[in-house]
A and B are shown apart, each in its own frame.
Chain A
Amino acid sequence: MSEMVKGVTRTGQFEWEVPVGYVPGMRVPGRFYLSDALTGTLEEGALKQLANVATLPGIRCCSLAMPDIHWGYGFPIGGVGAFDLTEGVVSPGGVGFDINCGVRLLATPLREAEILKKAEVIEDLYQAVPTGVGARSSQRLGKADLRSMLEDGASWAVRAGLGMERDLDRCEGNGRMDETDPSKVSEKALQRGLTQSGTLGAGNHFLELQVVDEIYDPAAGAAFGVEEGTVAVMIHCGSRGLGHQVCTDYIQVLEAATRRYGITLPDRQLACAPVDSPEGRAYVGAMAAAANYAWANRQVITHHAREVFGRRFGLAPEDLPLVYDVAHNIAKFEEHEVDGRRERVCVHRKGATRAFGPGAPGLPSDLAALGQPVIIPGSMGTPSFLLRGTEEAMRRTFGSTCHGAGRVMSRSGAKKQLAGRDVREALRRDGILVRAPNDASIAEEAPSVYKSSTEVVRVVHEVGLGRLVARLRPIGAIKG
């Protein structure tokens, strides 16, 4: 490994440990998973953030990071931390601004050759799903609707005719967090939420057309509903301005609480409060409400996508079944084995995906023996992957795995080195059509600014933090 990761110990072929003492005040070690090929991408800032998380009160086992670890704010991206419910804390810095940013995958019966006018299909999707900075919802939401979204999550959208009951069965936690408390969401957050339902956002958010081009695990593939050679739709977005405002509000609240509870922090973005405190409970209630908004939001976008496929190809909504929907910025209450006994803990996943193994609670009954479907997006030009959760992930990482490829180049570096138009043309030559509001946003998200999704997922598969089920090749995308 390079000089900048001095002080880190290799503890396995893909496992590395950041010892207590790497930064002052660490209560447990840090642990991350990388192959030799990926170690060159590791930044000192990410390691420091991993170590900072280990200083938080009540952290159990260790501060963890997945193979897509990179430098973020508060927790590193790819970070996982589980906290005791009595001694431990909850922190917006372990969830992020985009609460319940997540990914869902829809199957279709179409073959790639049947998408005859791909540019027109992409344009239809771009027109159907409000995208980019300043985009406003095509829905007219009232305050009662918004409250129902925060209360009920994806099921609000299904009740409103924007989905099917089966969709809920294929969402993590049925597309809802029970801890929701809309009364803890500020007026500012509500105002932002009213106008952005069903919008995609910008940055790395996307709606992508893909082809299932390899099945690694036929039994799981069949059970998950993906067939080799068929087209799939992947949607990546979160809780929009409502979630961003919840995070902003509660960092202010928990900053004050941190001082009140005498907690010393290495980074103010890790502002936190005991899980079992008025401030901690308030944040959890608001965060869960924002998470529910995000599930409803992805459901609305799903509806728009199904409408486009209905108009273009005569498909019914049931012809585009939901494979699964996962959150990758969230804090959840789960039972795990820690130090040889079962404990209920608050698991923070910041750019990390739940990957529950066979027999874990809350899985759809027909998938219980296989494990949870796990969706790992690549980039516009590199494959995404469908995996299944494992017992190994339950044992090692509180049932968690990576959330994507992970960036290696800054956005400013990307814009300096890459012209958006060139990236667009290179993708087109590879058969990938991209529709975005501007070329700069394409340059910022070019395939070369990310680690190899194939290598990141290989590490996940080799370590056992997920088992490969299928690979999905991109053929087109709309981006914000």
Chain B
Amino acid sequence: MSIEELEHTADLRFRVRAPSLADLFAEAARALMQTLYADLRGPATEIRPIDLESGDRESLLYNFLSEVLYLSEAENLVFTEAELKVTPSPPSVVGRLVGRPFDRALHAGGTEVKGISYSDLAIVEANGEFCLEVLFDV
């Protein structure tokens, strides 16, 4: 699994690779949390459920990351891990996010993410692995 930052002038664009769709979504959530909070270390004390459906897997990813962003900001939580099951058809993701309350002393090293963009959002499957590209508006 890997998270690679790609060039983009104004915003932050990532390429994520993983052996399964579930790992791919979890890694994308990690890229989002690392952008926001930089340091994700520390014990997890909070759990939030995830249960989403969508029309295709790209819009499922958009909805999933938007939900992670919402929960994190609205509830002041830093998610350190995502335990997920992703079903390709019909596209759905269920599972849970685990994390801890935001602590300014630990988590102020990142930058704000305003939203998840659909521009160039893509998930491809090749050579037994999944790859996605996604852009965060910062």
What residues make up the interface of A, taking CB atoms closer than 8 Å to B? 43, 45-46, 49, 70-74, 77, 96-98, 132-134, 136, 188, 191-192, 201-203, 241, 244-245, 247-248, 251-252, 255, 267-269, 271, 407-413, 437-438, 440-441, 444, 480
Contacts and interface: CB of A to CB of B under 8 A. Distances in A.
A441 B10 contact: no
Closest 9 CB pairs of A and B: A97-B115, A202-B112, A268-B118, A73-B119, A97-B114, A73-B117, A269-B118, A269-B119, A244-B114
Contacts of B69: 248
Contact of A444 (B7, B70, B74, B111): B111
30 contacts: A43-B9, A45-B9, A71-B8, A73-B118, A73-B135, A96-B137, A133-B107, A134-B104, A188-B74, A191-B74, A192-B70, A202-B111, A203-B111, A203-B112, A203-B114, A241-B74, A247-B114, A248-B66, A248-B70, A252-B62, A268-B58, A268-B118, A268-B119, A271-B118, A407-B10, A410-B7, A410-B8, A412-B12, A437-B108, A438-B108
B11 interface: yes
Contact of B109 (A72, A96, A410, A438): A438
B59 to A, nearest CB: 7
Interface of B: 5, 7-12, 36-38, 58-59, 62-63, 66, 69-70, 73-74, 76, 102, 104, 107-112, 114-121, 135, 137-138
Given A70-B9, A269-B117, A269-B119, A411 B107 contact: no
Contact of A132 (B74, B108, B135): B108
Main secondary structure of the interface of B (DSSP, over half): mixed
B111 A241 contact: no
Counting chain A CB atoms within 10 Å of each CB, which of B62, B112, B117 scores highest? Answer: B112
A268 B36 contact: no
A244 B114 CA distance: 6
A267 B137 contact: no
A386 to B, nearest CB: 24
A133 B112 contact: yes
A46 B11 CA distance: 13
A198 B107 CA distance: 21
A134 B107 contact: yes
B138 A411 contact: yes
B1 to A, nearest CB: 20
A441 B37 CA distance: 12
A49 B11 CA distance: 15
A471 to B, nearest CB: 25
A241 B108 contact: no
